[in-house]
């Protein structure tokens, strides 16, 4: 069992008051809070080893380079990538997806098909739409049902030899549904399509095993898993990363430059042009160590309890509907109350210290499916408690009374 009070003491922000009330932070899907060890590691980097990496022979540069590469190795181990050079540092999930779609511009032909799911965040829709506009490829959508689950029969029917890429999130940010990605990957590979998994909402809750999944790409952000903002990872199978052209040109990504011709560096540097977020990359490793020390089995167990408790308590409220009622769910509850705009509830409960996200959660197609402008989304982390859920439920009840 987790000692939640001890864990909470690692997060200085959690003992704050907001609007005169104790902070209840349920916007973890947007970004997680950071433990002191992560905050300290950022300071320590700038105080002790700040230097540019891969550039100088001097000692600090070497120390910074070593720390950066050690962190890459930690990520490799964490996601079980075969090689460290399959792990690319990026500024986040959005950047990682755009890197891949940019690369596929030289691969896709008119009439090829890209399958996205109905459950995607805009950052796993728009770059593929842009790619299809550029190449003449066709975007097709794996539909969902009323429970917010992808319809696998429809997916099977969409697959054909025209399918070149399938892109789907591991866990939906708006509904919390966990997608059957293992099945999706197997089926997509059977027709020769590459598969990108958007793991942005998965990595705070579970430890992905990219070799076991056999996905071609797996992208995520560091800031949702206790790491700094402006950090992220794109995992790609070696063969794919060798096949894709570089995303950005510049320093660090070359072997030799002449005005006639430039040759590119080997992986991973081919995709890491310019000075990266060095402190961020190093400290992402600290965040991963922190999470592994707590243990993902423990995290999952606690979060499952929170999800079950929150679902039960919220459903006590008359007129409340939860979106995303499928079986396989992460600790996210998206809901509305009959006749009340989600923004109004969100604003009132903010005054009571409760931080949730309201709106379309950058997943407008999901909102269109349910014919709603948005939802109230409470997304829980391992440092949240049932007592906090009680505070939220009381606050929502109060808001409902005020607004009815």
What are the residues binding ligand 7TS (CB under 6 A)? 29-30, 92-94, 121, 123-124, 169, 173, 198, 200-201, 221, 357, 361-362
**Residue 32 vs 93, nearer CB to ligand 7TS:** 93
- Cβ proximity of 17 and 353 under 8 Å: yes
Active site residues: 362
Nearest Cα to 96, choosing from 189, 209, 230, 226?
230
- Cβ proximity of 396 and 345 under 8 Å: yes
Compute the least distance from the CB of residue 20 to ligand 7TS, in Å.
26
Compute the least distance from the CB of residue 96 to ligand 7TS, in Å.
8
The single residue listed with the structure tokens 């490799």 is 76
**Residue 124 vs 331, nearer CB to ligand 7TS:** 124
Q: Which two tokens stand for residue 207?
A: 């430890």
User: d(Cα 113, Cα 109) in Å, to the nearest integer?
Assistant: 9
Nearest Cα to 21, choosing from 388, 401, 398, 399?
388
The single residue listed with the structure tokens 């842009």 is 130
User: d(Cα 352, Cα 21) in Å, to the nearest integer?
Assistant: 6
Compute the least distance from the CB of residue 285 to ligand 7TS, in Å.
18
Distances (CA, A) of 329 to 176, 259, 303: 5, 54, 10
**Residue 71 vs 358, nearer CB to ligand 7TS:** 358
**Residue 76 vs 201, nearer CB to ligand 7TS:** 201
First to last CA, the chain: 41
Compute the least distance from the CB of residue 302 to ligand 7TS, in Å.
21
**Residue 31 vs 300, nearer CB to ligand 7TS:** 31
Compute the least distance from the CB of residue 171 to ligand 7TS, in Å.
7
């Amino acid at each position: 069992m987790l000692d939640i009070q001890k864990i909470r003491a690692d997060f200085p922000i959690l003992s704050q008051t907001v609007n005169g009330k104790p902070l209840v932070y349920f916007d973890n899907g947007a970004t997680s809070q950071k433990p002191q060890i992560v905050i300290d590691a950022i300071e320590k980097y700038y105080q002790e080893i700040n230097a540019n990496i891969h550039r100088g022979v001097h000692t600090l540069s070497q120390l910074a380079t070593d720390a950066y590469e050690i962190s890459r190795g930690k990520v490799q181990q964490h996601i079980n990538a075969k090689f460290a050079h399959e792990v690319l540092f990026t500024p986040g999930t959005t950047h990682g997806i755009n890197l891949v779609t940019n690369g596929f511009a030289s691969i896709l032909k008119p009439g090829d098909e890209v399958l996205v799911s109905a459950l995607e965040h805009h950052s796993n829709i728009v770059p593929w739409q842009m790619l299809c506009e550029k190449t003449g490829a066709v975007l097709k959508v794996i539909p969902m049902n009323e429970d917010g689950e992808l319809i696998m029969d429809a997916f099977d029917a969409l697959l054909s030899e025209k399918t070149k890429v399938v892109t789907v999130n591991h866990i939906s940010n708006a509904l919390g549904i966990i997608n059957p990605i293992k099945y999706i990957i197997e089926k997509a590979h059977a027709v020769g399509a590459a598969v990108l998994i958007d793991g942005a909402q998965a990595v705070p809750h579970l430890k992905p095993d990219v070799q076991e999944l056999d996905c071609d790409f797996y992208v995520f952000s560091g800031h949702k898993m206790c790491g700094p903002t402006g950090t992220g990872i794109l995992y790609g199978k070696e063969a794919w990363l060798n096949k894709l052209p570089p995303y950005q040109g510049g320093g660090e990504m070359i072997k030799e430059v002449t005005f006639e011709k430039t040759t590119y560096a080997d992986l991973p540097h081919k995709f890491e042009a310019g000075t990266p977020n060095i402190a961020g990359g190093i400290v992402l490793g600290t965040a991963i160590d922190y999470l592994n020390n707590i243990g993902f089995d423990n995290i999952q167990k606690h979060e499952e309890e929170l999800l079950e408790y929150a679902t039960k308590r919220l459903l006590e409220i008359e007129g409340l509907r939860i979106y995303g009622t499928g079986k396989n769910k992460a600790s996210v509850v998206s809901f509305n109350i009959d006749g009340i705009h989600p923004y109004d509830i969100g604003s009132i409960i903010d005054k009571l210290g409760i931080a949730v996200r309201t709106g379309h959660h950058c997943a407008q197609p999901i909102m269109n499916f349910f014919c709603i402008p948005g939802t109230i989304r409470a997304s829980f982390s391992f440092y949240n408690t049932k007592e906090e859920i009680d505070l939220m439920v009381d606050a929502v009840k109060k808001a409902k009374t005020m607004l009815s």
